């Protein structure tokens, strides 16, 4: 049973259209569980509206280039391009926005067509053209734009750690929420739908928030800053083990269970949530990120919990039944 979040006449949000296009491609390629697709459709009236719009556009989808015929797609890059083209058709048909608007270019459209991506649970090392290094964490989308005048990384979503190389050109990282300028440094950037977080491991960075372009905040090693569409938060001390994911580990120190489950969910396909009745239980431990289901089993055994699977890709962590 889905819950209505928007009226039938309101525009369908871009991220919902992008998700519908993604599920369509994965389903046609045989890479998605039909039950997971149905669960996504049932999650909200807006999801179902996006899916029905996609079904009504079959004729236009058939006009896509033959090389993008969905059943023949195998490579992940080809699937992403197909999903991006389907998204364009959906947006033009009834998404409530035009392809030329800046919001589309800085949202799901760019993320779907990003030149570098990681899947949930995947990590990737990239050697940059100037000799610098970029580590990509799970479910990330990045574009690299180097020119004679500057070096620019565009992080659409996900998480990266950058070690810059010595070079006279400025080094910038763009997110939808602002710009980070490296000052000879090693630093991490994490971007999600609510905002971006920058953590400085060595030297310093400058942060300019899109909501306050006149305000520049400098961060030194050991500091962290969150910024979003509404502005800059306070500068905080960077938590310990911030880069433990580079070693395939997640370190929780007296975290609420809900926070731990949310972090584990980033490394697993589908939907993983925490029941509100156990959300505040404190958890401390070190967890391997290469087998999230095994982590959940261990967590349940040690903390009196259980995981309820609605489908293989949709699960809830809750108190163990007595």
- Dig out the tokens for 243 from the structure: 């880069």
Give percent above pLDDT 90 in the chain: 50
Cα–Cα dist 48/39, whole Å = 10
DSSP state letter for 34: H
Question: Is-contact 281 293, C-beta < 8 A?
Answer: no
Tell me whether domains 124-237 and 248-319 share a fold. Answer: no
Q: Look at the block and give the residue holding tokens 């030329």.
A: 100
Q: What is the pLDDT of residue 5?
A: 44
Between the alpha carbon of residue 307 and those of residues 98, 297, 312, 320, the distances in Å are 42, 8, 11, 8
Taking only the tens place, the pLDDT of each residue in 58-94 is 555 544 444 444 444 445 666 676 777 777 667 655 5
Q: What is the pLDDT of residue 234?
A: 93
Tell me yes or no: is domain 248-319 CATH 3.55.50.30. yes
* Size of the chain, expressed as the number of residues it contains: 322
Between the alpha carbon of residue 20 and those of residues 14, 38, 303, the distances in Å are 10, 11, 36
Q: What is the pLDDT of residue 62?
A: 45
Contacts of 183 (CB under 8 A, 6+ apart): 203, 204, 205, 206
Element (H, E) at 151: strand 151-163
Torsion-angle region of 228 (φ positive above 0: left; ψ -120 to 50: alpha; else: beta) = beta
Q: Is the dihedral of CA 263, 198, 174, 76 positive or negative?
A: negative
- Dig out the tokens for 71 from the structure: 């059943």
Cα–Cα dist 228/1, whole Å = 33
User: Mean of the pLDDT values across residues 156-161?
Assistant: 95
Tell me which fold the domain 124-237 belongs to: Jelly Rolls (2.60.120)
Domain boundaries, the chain: 14-113, 124-237, 248-319
């Amino acid at each position: 049973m889905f819950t209505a979040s928007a009226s039938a006449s309101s525009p369908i949000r871009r991220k919902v259209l992008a998700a519908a296009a993604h599920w369509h491609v994965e389903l046609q390629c045989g890479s998605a569980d039909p039950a997971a697709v149905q669960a996504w459709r049932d999650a909200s009236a807006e999801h179902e509206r996006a899916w029905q719009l996609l079904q009504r556009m079959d004729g236009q989808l058939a006009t896509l280039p033959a090389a993008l015929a969905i059943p023949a797609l195998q490579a992940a890059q080809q699937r992403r391009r197909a999903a991006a083209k389907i998204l364009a058709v959906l947006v033009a048909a009834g998404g409530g926005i035009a392809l030329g608007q800046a919001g589309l270019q800085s949202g799901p459209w760019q993320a779907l067509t990003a030149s570098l991506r990681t899947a949930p649970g995947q990590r990737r090392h990239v050697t940059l053209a100037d000799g610098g290094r970029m580590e990509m964490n799970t479910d990330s989308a990045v574009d690299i734009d180097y020119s004679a005048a500057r070096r620019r990384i565009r992080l659409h979503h996900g998480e990266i750690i950058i070690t810059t190389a010595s070079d006279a050109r400025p080094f910038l990282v763009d997110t939808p929420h602002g710009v980070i300028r490296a000052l000879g440094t090693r630093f991490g950037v994490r971007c999600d739908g609510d905002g971006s977080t920058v953590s400085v491991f060595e030297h310093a960075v400058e942060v300019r928030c899109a909501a306050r372009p006149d305000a520049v905040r400098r961060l030194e090693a050991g500091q962290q800053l969150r910024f979003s569409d509404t502005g800059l938060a306070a500068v905080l001390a960077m938590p310990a083990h911030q880069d433990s994911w580079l070693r395939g580990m997640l370190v929780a120190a007296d975290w609420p269970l809900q926070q731990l489950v949310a972090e584990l969910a980033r490394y697993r396909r589908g939907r993983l949530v925490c029941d509100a009745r156990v959300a505040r239980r404190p958890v401390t431990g070190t967890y391997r990120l290469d087998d999230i289901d095994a982590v959940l089993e261990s967590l349940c055994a040690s903390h009196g919990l259980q995981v309820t699977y609605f489908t293989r890709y949709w699960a809830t962590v809750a108190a163990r039944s007595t």
